[in-house]
Chains A and B, each alone.
Chain A
Amino acid sequence: MRSSVKTQRNWTLLFVYIILGLFSITTLIPFLWMFLTSFKSLQEVDKPGILPHQWHKENYGEVFKQIPFSQYYLNSFLVAAWVTFLTVVTSAMSAFAFARMTWKGRDQVFLMYLATMMVPGVVTMIPNYAIIVRLHLLDSYTGLIVPASFSAFGTFLLRQFMISIPKALDEAAYLDGASPWRTFWDVIMPIAKPGLAALGILTFLGNYGSFYWPLILIKSDSLRTLPIGMLNFDGNYGRQTNLIMAAGMMSLIPPLLLFLIGQKQLLKGIQMGAVKG
């Protein structure tokens, strides 16, 4: 009896592994094709055959010769890093005001934050574009960074995190004569670290892949971020599938590294964002 339950369990597990294996393979095949194609010669790309006849490592160097790829890399990195830093700082501060302080109109203001999260991005995109034109920030780093740095979502996420911290901690700090700033820095921020990390990773990944805003804002080649640079490379440099795949592979490295390092926090953050409170 006991052993039959066990064998049944083993069969179930085998079935589970097979199905999960099939899904994983389906997920991986496009990436694998991208990897292999990035090492092929252009003539070879269109021919049947899976492995490159000869591994053309020079494809990767060729990308840098044809387009200012390192500049795109730098731009993407710089913009995403600034947006992440500003978003985390301003969201943490406002989340503190919403979660750990009582003031008149607090809940009404918070409700307004929540309400705007439902508004489609395109609604605010058009006036934001008009504002940036007015401020003469079209085609500039500032124009790329500043409008993306104040997040209602970030405030919401961190508020949810901070509100679960026991109130007794602030009260103890208050009795010790700590100012709100001290409480913020020395009591709440250390506890909120996992939340900050989650928001940081989500923001970085989101902004690194950001497409719409840079697309309408950036006109000069030297300010292009990776997605815009790749779009341009794909559209205006003829069909060079092997090179565009090499560029694609390189553009995937930073998010992959970040994911490997911060996997735990990222997954937590996504699950946390869904908890309404």
Chain B
Amino acid sequence: MPGQRFIEKYLSFRLSIAAMSFADSFHEICSVCETPISSGLTAGLCPRCLLGAAMADATDGELAETMNSGSVGPSGAGSLLDCFESTSDHGNQQTLFGDYVLIEEIARGGMGVVYRARHQKLGREVAMKVILSGQFASENDVRRFEMEAEAAAALDHPGIVPIYEIGQHQGHHFFTMKLIEGGSLAMRISELRKNLRTFVAVVAQVAEAIDYAHRRGILHRDIKPANILLDGDGHPLVTDLGLAKRTEAESDLTGTGAIVGTPAYMPPEQASASKEITTSADVYAIGAVLYEGLTGHPPHQGESPIATLMLAAKGEVQPPSSFNRQADRVLELVCMKCLSREPNERYASPGLLADDLRRWLAGESVSVRPKSLVSIFGEMVSDQLRSALGAMLIGVVGGLLTALPIYSNIAANLFGEPGAPFNLTELRESLPNFAVVDHWWLHPPAWLGNQGFLVGVSLSLLLGLAIEKIVRPRETRQAIAVGLVAGLLMTIVQFGMYGIAASWQTHKLTSSHRINAMARASLLAEQQRQQAVEYLFTEFPDLRALEPNDRAELLGKAVSTQMMLASPSSFLGTLGICLAFSIIYCVAGTIYANRLAMAKIWWLPMLVRYLEVMVMMSGAMVTLVFILLFKFGMVANEEGAIPVPLQLFVILAIWIAATMPGWRMMRWYTRWPIYVVCTLTALSLAGSVARGLE
């Protein structure tokens, strides 16, 4: 049973950590290789020596003696050279490797060690790159190593270090290349940048060499000063095609997703492994070398490689003049064009960059123009504009979706439908001279008020998701901001329509029957008039006690006052309802959609999760709307407005609680039972409230 094993292992793991943590905090230094030994770990043995012991041939039982004989010295030259020594027949002072004598180690890279070596017969000194851990290399290491050599050997250009030989010796893969004696640009950059013209000429030559490589279908992908060697005359030669990739044949060894290269000189698309790396990544890196010449440091500099990588991924580069006031403005333009965040805004090829650098050297004008104010403004605005337009669009659409059906329903009920209490057509038939315009918007189509409501509410469930898709907020703060703007616009649009309808509704509920009675009391024939008057007396019993002269005036005042005082609460209630709609659908919806988008879930489960939460939120919203309706006296029976039933608050709390499993990103088997329990509880409570009202 895997489960059982898992638990056992987990327990033993906890115990081992616990035991470790109480170990004495004293730690020693290995007497052989001076490596610090962690106390409490590896039984107090030196980790380096432990590994060294395992590196020697496993069939040889006397490896410990080999280790002891000092082959692992403090020089740290590593195991490879030692390995040759032990296998070499001429074991004296010289280390032989095939036809070559290894003279010294000059560099060490990710997968290879570079030696200065001399060909025994030709007498020529070369740089020899040997794959680390030679015969033990995995198939992939070998393939990558061979590709590297193959890529470099295919190139013949004065700006690229030539490859002499590719081979294998006793299972160790290697290649030899021209030995460049002048050191790398990394060592000499501070000296070279003092003479800007010389430096620019070097960069131009590098750009030409890389342009040549690109035309042969090879990307460098790790251009940096350390990979630009200088010969005795100061001519640059590009080397370390360790990361070079044939642009034509896609290799499966280093696909997108793996971050390779040097962060300080890396374009954002390479640092974030977001896009396919193209030739423009090399243009960026050459620009980064130029940048270092102008400022004295590479474009991205963090406290650690990781921090640098993060900076590179962001791709924001300060212009050289912000560090060096004397930086040449034209070169700055050229440099910043290379360092554009968008690959297609950089030079289309290193050749074009070289052309511009040559023009600068010749004192001619370059192809880059300073950015116009308009384009700077445009860039600044475009991002915000996208957010603003998206929010506006969604807000207006959301407002129409939710408010139009409600408005249509009320307008039809009051004015439009035949037999409606204020049907304008019937009114004008009876009173032909009645001065009222029968507007088209008083007769919305019937489907808008009926099916339209369901469609509108269903679609408005998706508002948050729509904002996420259209605006694509980069972080939660932006999602909240966009959601708020959309919500505000939605409220305004809703309030425009629903506010009008609600004021009609309020008037009808609070005052129309009294005005009706007053009209009948004044205009009907005697007996019916008396009935109307009696009705008014029951409505306002205090009238009986007054003088008949005062009655009419006070009644008019009382009814008008009631009408006027009903308006504010009706408006506030309506506004509250509109806000509830907007907050749930726009603000909460956007934030949740953004949260889901960041979790990078497949679209279908994402949609399901989103809809679940929005349905639960809708439950909360409907409850909130009812609470507001009660609160602002918009629910009334014959005895007048009804106070808010307290169960509604409980129902609201249940709906809000039901959104939590989704918000906390729980699994479906946790979420769904909670939804069922919450929904059933809320509905049964709502049922009891409804029965209570009847």
Whether A associates with B in a native complex is no
Chain B residues with a Cβ under 8 A of chain A: none
Chain A residues with a Cβ under 8 A of chain B: none
